[in-house]
Every structure is written in structure tokens, then in C-alpha cells.
């Protein structure tokens, strides 16, 4: 079982990562004419409004109990009514990208916090920042996989011609099963993990800190 410190280190970054990811979708949708998320009170940083029983509670709790070394989860998706968007196909591209972009921005935020924590030698904040960098990069990369209903699937659908977009969208009911299948086939290790490592190397280079080394040594 994880101790209280480990729970704090991972749960706060995970909660903010999945909450802001969903708020970003709803915020951009609202800009382009769909006020669904706003009317349902989902454009809020209150995490209770975004809790998904499985993705926000069951999955992270299971990973903690199994001492997996890190937390992962997702929030309840914000509603997006594509028919309310001013230009549904084009606008959906930006709505879909908003979530991963929010995670990338949060990753940069945690890099700054890591630098500050390192400067003042604050161990708990240092480890939390490392967790924030890791989980936000992982969420951004994972969600950009070109599989509906992930954000990457929405992006591909927006870029395809209408006839091909329609056919591609027919995969959405099977998206979860496709994800499970490709995970069992080792796609995570072959695709997502190398991209994640490259991003950590890049952040280490531009920040002048050994971010990858710190995360791999102290958190994973």
C-alpha cells in the first residue's frame, strides 16, 4: 500500500491534469459557439464537477493498491454539441486539440515548479513537480493517438474529407476495444514510451535540469 506522501505527490498533479484537460475542451467549444459545458457548470476548476467513478477513482485507486509507481486516470468528458459549433468540422479540430495543449502547458508549469523546488531544496514539491511533468506528458501523448474517441481521432476526423471522415468515425464505438488490443500488442512500449522519453530528454536539454533522470530515479 502507498504511504500518504506518495498519495499526495501523485494525486494532486493527476487531479489537475485530468480536470484542466476537460475544462480546456469545454472552454474552446464555448468560444466557437457551443455553450453545453458552460450551461452544465463544467467550465470550472472544481474537480468534483469532473469526477468519473471509474477513471477518476477506481483506476487510480487500483494503481495505488498495486503499487504501480505512478497514477493515471481520466475525468468525465465535457459535453460537446458539434451542431452548435459555428463551423463544426473545422472548430472540432481546435476543441479536440485544446485538451492535449492544456496538458502541455501544465507540463511547462510543472517544469518551472521543479526549478523553483530544486532552488529552495523542497523535496515534496520537487517530487510533485516531477509527477506533474510525467503525467501531463503521458496524457498529452496518449490522447493524441489517432483513434476515436481520443482527441487524436477527433483531429484526424476533422482533417479528412467528409466521406472518409464519416467512415473513420464509424470506428468510435469500437475505440475502447481497439485501445485495449493495441496495448496488449505492445503499442505503449513501442510508440508512446519512446515519445515520452524523447520529450523528457528535450525538457532536460532546454531547462538545464536532469528531468528524465530525476523522474526515472525517484518516481518510476
CB atoms within 10 A of CB 38: 15
Per-residue pLDDT, 210: 93
Residue 174, SS3 per DSSP: helix
What gap in Å lies between CA 19 and CA 8, rounded to an integer?
16
User: Is 172 noted as a catalytic residue in this protein?
Assistant: no
The whole-chain average pLDDT of the chain stands at 88
Q: Express each pLDDT in 121-167 by its tens digit.
A: 899 999 999 999 999 999 999 899 999 889 999 999 999 999 999 99
pTM score: 0.89
Map out the domains of the chain as residue ranges: 4-218
Which of 9, 18, 22, 154 is flagged as catalytic?
A: 22
Query: Which residues fall within 8 angstroms of residue 26, CB to CB, at 6 or more apart?
Result: 36, 37, 38, 42, 43, 78, 79, 80
Query: In sequence order, what DSSP letters do the residues of 3-39 get, joined into one string?
Result: -HHHHHHHHHHHHHHHHHHHHHHHHHHHHTT--HHHH
Amino acid at each position: 500500500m502507498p504511504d500518504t506522501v506518495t498519495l499526495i505527490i501523485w494525486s494532486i498533479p493527476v487531479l489537475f491534469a485530468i480536470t484542466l484537460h476537460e475544462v480546456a475542451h469545454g472552454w474552446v467549444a464555448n468560444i466557437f459557439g457551443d455553450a453545453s459545458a458552460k450551461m452544465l457548470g463544467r467550465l470550472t476548476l472544481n474537480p468534483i464537477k469532473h469526477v468519473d467513478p471509474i477513471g477518476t477513482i477506481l483506476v487510480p485507486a487500483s494503481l495505488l493498491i498495486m503499487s504501480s509507481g505512478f497514477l493515471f486516470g481520466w475525468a468525465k468528458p465535457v459535453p460537446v454539441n458539434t451542431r452548435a459549433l459555428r463551423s463544426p468540422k473545422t472548430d472540432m479540430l481546435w476543441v479536440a486539440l485544446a485538451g492535449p495543449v492544456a496538458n502541455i502547458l501544465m507540463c511547462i508549469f510543472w517544469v518551472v515548479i521543479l526549478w523553483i523546488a530544486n532552488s529552495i531544496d523542497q523535496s515534496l514539491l520537487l517530487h510533485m513537480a516531477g509527477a506533474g511533468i510525467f503525467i501531463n506528458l503521458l496524457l498529452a501523448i496518449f490522447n493524441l493517438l489517432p483513434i476515436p474517441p481520443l482527441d487524436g481521432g477527433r483531429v484526424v476526423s476533422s482533417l479528412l474529407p467528409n466521406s472518409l471522415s464519416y467512415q473513420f468515425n464509424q470506428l468510435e464505438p469500437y475505440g475502447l476495444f481497439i485501445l485495449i488490443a493495441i496495448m496488449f500488442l505492445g503499442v505503449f512500449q513501442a510508440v508512446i514510451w519512446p515519445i515520452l522519453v524523447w520529450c523528457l530528454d528535450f525538457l532536460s536539454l532546454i531547462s538545464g535540469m536532469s528531468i528524465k533522470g530525476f523522474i526515472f530515479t525517484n518516481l518510476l
